């Protein structure tokens, strides 16, 4: 037991206080995450829309997320990550209340787009903030700490949301809005007087003037990486779109049971991610860890087709959760390492755009295949797609890591006055 406690202490040690506070704020925000996991069920069960119409609404949410991620990254490099995060948390939280009055399809679609646009401005700004406050040697663990807080919140939000939805779906919007605004208030109180949240200006030194500021949109290898990351996210985001519908329509699970299944994902990631990142991060190359995680995700869909028993649902959720642990922290680190202080907002904005774009494709793809063919067909297609994404990521991440190590070697050699060919 002492060895386990020491392992946890080492895994969490050395992280800065602002990194902890950012994680606490995201925990508060995510603890109210009740709407998105149940949005598809709300649209079909409460408002009577078809499976395909629900998929369209969920895809529109993704379109707003794409726009918000781009705008958030652009604004982070220009006005700083503090202002973008504060605006997203407070204004985004207030927007949930408008859904108390929206029932017609076109109004819901417009409302969902605006809501996701404002909410997803938070992601690149928050990532830039984590990278800023983290010590260089702890970047991956700082992102893992933040994700741990998100997933702990996600283990609470859907579980509460399942109970609340059984009473009235309207209360989901109230809970999500209140949690977001509370997180915004706490964020303002702690970070308003701290230095470092303003946009980075070009330094006056000759080194800074000669430093190349690369745009992620002209970085060919990074664009391929982003495309493959989007492929992974399309697979993963079945968690928030077709999986709840599958639980409801095929297994006829009540809302509370669906919430418990979704909460299991957050609980597993909360419990194991920091430990596994600490144990594996410096010992196994990203080019092996990330593709392996994608294959684990593909296997979770195969499990769903092995029979018809609720134990398979839990087994699949466990696999999906460990896939998330093996992939997401290291993907974020690649984006940080590929950027610098003057373009980090843009790089992390494009990185979050890949997830936002997946929010567009994942629900529409999943619901279309499931309604036209079957859920079984959907799970087989996704498992094959996971193999393709895994192979692509193996080669791309290997190339990116080789470039990064080569760049570090050149810098080290130049500091010693040696030319590296």
What pLDDT digit, counting tens, does each position of 70-81 carry?
888 888 888 888
Q: At what angle do helices 255-280 and 139-167 cross, to 10 degrees?
A: 170
pLDDT for the residue 258: 86
Q: Is the pLDDT of residue 100 over 60?
A: yes
pLDDT for the residue 4: 63
User: 196, 132 in Cβ contact below 8 A?
Assistant: yes
pTM for this predicted structure: 0.72
The burial of 405, by beta-carbon neighbours within 10 Å (0-12 exposed, 13-18 middle, 19 or more buried), is given as: exposed
Mean pLDDT of 329-337: 85
End-to-end CA distance of the chain: 52
* Identical topology for domains 16-193 and 217-414: yes
Mean pLDDT of 131-150: 76
pLDDT for the residue 272: 85
pLDDT for the residue 413: 60
pLDDT for the residue 199: 60
* Rg of the chain, C-alpha, whole Å: 21
Q: At what angle do helices 17-31 and 139-167 cross, to 10 degrees?
A: 20
- Residue 339 pLDDT class (50, 70, 90 cuts): confident
- Residue 398 pLDDT class (50, 70, 90 cuts): very high
Q: Is the pLDDT of residue 210 over 60?
A: no
**Where in the chain are the domains?**
16-193, 217-414
Q: What percent of the chain has pLDDT over 70?
A: 87
Q: What is the mean pLDDT of the chain?
A: 83
Mean pLDDT of 289-313: 95
Q: Is the pLDDT of residue 421 over 60?
A: no
Mean pLDDT of 133-141: 73
Top-ranked range on mean pLDDT: pick from 32-36, 164-168, 254-258, 392-396: 392-396
Fold topology of 217-414: Growth Hormone; Chain: A; (1.20.1250)
Fold topology of 16-193: Growth Hormone; Chain: A; (1.20.1250)
**Distance (Å, rounded) from C-alpha 338 to C-alpha 309?**
44
b/e per residue 261-292 (b: at least 16 CB within 10 A)? bbbbbbbbbbeebbbbbbeebeeeebbebbbb
pLDDT for the residue 205: 40
The closest of 218, 282, 228 to 395, measured between CA atoms, is: 228
How is residue 273 written in tokens?
């991610």
Higher pLDDT, 42 or 398: 398
Mean pLDDT of 64-90: 87
Q: Is the pLDDT of residue 352 over 50?
A: yes
């Amino acid at each position: 037991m002492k060895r386990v406690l020491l392992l946890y202490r080492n895994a969490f040690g050395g992280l800065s206080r602002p990194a902890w506070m950012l994680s606490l704020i995201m925990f508060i925000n995510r603890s109210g995450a009740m709407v998105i996991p149940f949005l598809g069920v709300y649209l079909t069960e409460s408002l009577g829309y078809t499976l395909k119409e629900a998929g369209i609404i969920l895809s529109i949410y993704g379109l707003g997320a794409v726009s918000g991620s781009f705008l958030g990254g652009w604004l982070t490099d220009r006005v700083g990550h503090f202002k973008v995060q504060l605006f997203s948390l407070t204004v985004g939280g207030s927007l949930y209340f408008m859904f108390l009055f929206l029932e017609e399809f076109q109004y819901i679609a417009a409302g969902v787009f605006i809501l996701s646009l404002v909410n997803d401005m938070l992601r690149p700004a928050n990532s830039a903030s984590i990278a800023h406050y983290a010590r260089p040697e702890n970047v991956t663990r700082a992102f893992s700490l933040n994700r741990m807080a998100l997933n702990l919140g996600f283990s609470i939000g859907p579980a509460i949301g399942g109970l609340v939805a059984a009473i009235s779906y309207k209360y989901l919007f109230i809970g999500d809005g209140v949690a977001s605004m509370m997180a915004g208030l706490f964020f303002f109180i702690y970070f308003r007087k701290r230095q470092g949240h303003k946009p980075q200006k070009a330094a006056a030194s000759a080194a800074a003037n000669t430093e190349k500021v690369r745009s992620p949109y002209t970085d060919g290898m990074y664009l391929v990486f982003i495309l493959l990351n989007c492929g992974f996210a399309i697979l993963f985001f079945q968690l928030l779109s077709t999986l709840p519908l599958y639980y409801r329509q095929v297994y006829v699970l009540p809302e509370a049971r669906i919430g418990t299944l979704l909460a299991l994902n957050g609980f597993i990631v909360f419990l194991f991610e920091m430990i596994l990142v600490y144990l594996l991060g410096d010992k196994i190359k990203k080019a092996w860890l990330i593709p392996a995680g994608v294959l684990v995700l593909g296997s979770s869909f195969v499990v769903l087709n092995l029979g018809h028993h609720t134990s398979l649902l839990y087994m699949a959720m466990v696999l999906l959760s460990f896939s998330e642990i093996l992939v997401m922290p290291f993907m974020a680190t690649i984006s940080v390492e590929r950027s610098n202080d003057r373009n980090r907002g843009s790089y992390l904005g494009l990185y979050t755009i890949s997830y936002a774009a997946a929010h567009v494709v994942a629900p529409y793809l999943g619901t279309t295949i499931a309604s036209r063919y079957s859920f079984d067909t959907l799970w087989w297609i996704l498992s094959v797609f996971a193999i393709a994404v895994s192979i692509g990521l193996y080669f791309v991440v290997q190339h990116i890591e080789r470039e990064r190590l080569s760049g570090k070697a050149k810098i080290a050699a130049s500091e010693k006055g040696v030319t590296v060919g």
